[in-house]
Amino acid sequence: MPLLNGAHGYGSVTRFLHWLTFGLLVVQLVLGYGMESFAEALFEEDSSGGSGGDRIRAGDDQLVFLHGALGGLILVVAILRLTWRATTPLPPWSERLGPIARRVESWVERVLYATLFVIPFSGFGLLFLSGEERELENRREWYPPLDVVSDDLMLVLHVGGHLTFYAAVIVHVGLAVSHRTTSRML
């Protein structure tokens, strides 16, 4: 398979970046939505008499940092993807997509790229700029370096970014399946 996009379809670099992004997002979403359950499983009550609830809360807060690091990695991959997209021509449109489906897919691509930036940046805002303290193990506290944005605003952007992302993915996959173009990225 050629590295670059061309008349044959998407090249291996584009496909690799596409599926790397997909895989990272799956891991990130599982971690993000399962954080509390993971904390309960990983940070049980200890034998020293400490409160299991405190350890679980601290574990949940510690997993937020892993979630943030993964968000940073997704942001780096998004920058690589956007750079690759801007410097590499796309293959021709599938003949199965009509003008309306092409226009919709073009807008969906923009929305998906935007959410790959909005979601991590709003997450970083929550973690580093909102002043929200985090409890760590051994009753230590972590204080964000700045308190310059509203955590409510960052949460609205973060959750709104998720909802927008899900809607765009549904449209993107729906177009690919309904027009039988999935083989172009497999």
- Delimit the domains of the chain by residue range: 12-184
Residue 98's Cβ-side half-sphere holds a number of Cα atoms within 13 Å equal to: 2
Whole-number pLDDT of residue 68? 94
CA angle at 81 for the pair 128 and 1, rounded to the nearest 5°: 150
Whole-number pLDDT of residue 186? 79
Read off the pTM.
0.86
| Residues of the chain scoring pLDDT < 70 | 44-59
Whole-number pLDDT of residue 47? 46
